[in-house]
Amino acid sequence: MCSSCGVPAHLPPSHSDPAPVPRPRAAAGGDDDGAAPRRFAALRNPHCRPYLFGTGLAMMADNVEHVITYWVLWQVFESPALTGFQVISHWLPFLLLSVWFGGLADRFDCRRVVQAAQLLFMAVSAAWGVLFLTDSLTMWAACVLLVLHGVAGSLWTPGEQLLLYDFVGPRELPSAVRLNATFRNLGVLCGPVVGSVLLIGLGPTAGIFVNVLFYLPLTLFLLRTRFTGHTRGGGGRPRVGLVESLRVLREVRGDRTLVSMIALAGLASLFVGSSLGAVMPVFVDDFGLSDAGLAYGMLLFASGVGGVVGGVLLEATGRVRPSPRAAVASTALYGASVLGFALTRSFPLALVLLLAGGVANLASSSIAQTIVQLRAPDGARGRVLGLYGMSANGLRVGSGLTVGVLGAAAGMRWSLGVSAAALCLGTVFVAFLVRRSSRAPQSG
């Protein structure tokens, strides 16, 4: 056991307790007095609070860039192929590089890793601005910048999660993960609004330069915090080669609960992923409303606000504990909500289902990520989180195939419905694994 936090420091061959994650002893710095974790604990933490706000702003900037650049790219090139590449280039780096970037987070100061990602985001936004200003935008330059933007996102994620653990310790980690996801969802929700305001009010060139400023608060905060992502646990300085990073697959395969949570995130990513927003314009016409633009905006808002409301409700009530069964149940609810959305012809019901789906999706992802964090070995936490990120984000590339290709053959409603049903069936399989784990004898 790790002497500082009470969680396993290694993964035994059959580490399979799927019960609610036990409350570990306080990490260095002593923040555990035996009481239940406080509501909104991460926001009360003076080190974590500015980090959460900075994360929200950076996530908003990420989405502002999408709004501005996607609009310009369509105006200049009118290329459906480039539109598809926009999605692929954003998520493919997560699939290919997440585990390796997790190794970087394990080895190096996570403040500098996250700052490197933010600087890359800023450089990409500034490069777009220069290309717009000089009227020198080309297809190949656009593709390079789109890939670099995706690389920045995949570099950011593992180090971000290690810093959360370092700020609050294991006892209040569920609050930190939930609120971090909530602020990210808030950034996703505000990004299109702010991006549209900048695009209309300042134009794409000035707007994209202004967007650089939104990355600064998080970058500057990391200059003054003393937390590195490694102050609460040891683990040495592992090599960060690709082969060494991928060895984490062998290290975690005996932990059925951890593997189940990674698989659960991958199922949601593969079968639904980013495709829900992509198919909404098709669904708007089916509702037969007079103002299609307003209906589209309401559908997007309902889906986005569900994640924010879900985070606030879970944090305020404290009723849902981070257990594998809770993760499975919330993923099943997410799949059922998407399936209901695919089947309904009622616009009010569609709004309710999207809101419920947003709540369930946030619950599922935050619970699964918390469990993965707490069960990961100290020396390999970054690589395990990279593996989780590869599953939860990288497999979104596949959602374009599961929904898009099938949609071209059978219609978008049918394809989304089949994909959601596949998610529900996959969740049943993970539930079976979790149940088997609960009956397996504990090792040690």
pLDDT at 439: 61
373-409 b/e with 16+ CB inside 10 Å = b? Answer: bbbbbbbbbbbbbbbbbbbbbbbbbbbbebbbebbee
- CATH class of the domain at 41-233+241-246: mainly alpha
Mean pLDDT of 302-329: 83
Q: Which long-range contacts (CB under 8 A, 24 or more apart) does 131-137 make?
A: 132/72, 132/204, 132/205, 132/208, 133/205, 137/72, 137/76
273 vs 364, higher pLDDT: 364
Q: Among residues 305, 294, 295, 66, which one has the least CA distance to residue 199?
A: 66
Give the rounded distance of the alpha carbon of 328 from its chain centre: 17
pTM of whole model > 0.85? no
pLDDT digits (tens, 9 = 90+) for 390-426: 888 888 887 766 666 676 676 778 888 888 999 999 9
pLDDT digits (tens, 9 = 90+) for 350-369: 999 999 998 898 889 889 98
Quote the CA–CA distance of 37 and 28 in Å, as a whole number: 17
pLDDT reading at 161 higher than 80: yes
Q: Among residues 175, 170, 225, which one has the least CA distance to residue 4?
A: 170
Q: Which residue type, as a one-letter code, is found at position 42?
A: A
pLDDT reading at 151 higher than 90: yes
Give the helix ranges, DSSP H, for 108-138: 110-133
CATH superfamily of 248-444: MFS general substrate transporter like domains (1.20.1250.20)
- CATH 1.20.1250.20 segments of the chain: 41-233+241-246, 248-444
Q: Hey, what are 86's tokens? A: 């926009």
Beta carbons of 293 and 170 less than 8 angstroms apart: no
Q: Please, how many CA atoms are within 13 Å of residue 287, restricted to the half-sphere of its CB?
A: 24
pLDDT reading at 33 higher than 50: no
Quote the CA–CA distance of 356 and 107 in Å, as a whole number: 39
Average pLDDT across the chain, whole number: 82
pLDDT reading at 52 higher than 70: yes
pLDDT reading at 252 higher than 50: yes
What sign does the dihedral 181-333-418-410 (CA atoms) show?
Answer: negative
Angstrom distances, CA of residue 313 to CA of 308, 317, 359, 362:
9, 6, 9, 11
Beta carbons of 271 and 419 less than 8 angstroms apart: yes
What sign does the dihedral 118-124-125-126 (CA atoms) show?
Answer: positive
Mean pLDDT of 180-202: 88
pLDDT digits (tens, 9 = 90+) for 212-246: 999 999 999 999 999 988 887 654 555 555 555 55
Q: Hey, what are 368's tokens? A: 């699964």
Place of tokens 């399936």: 339
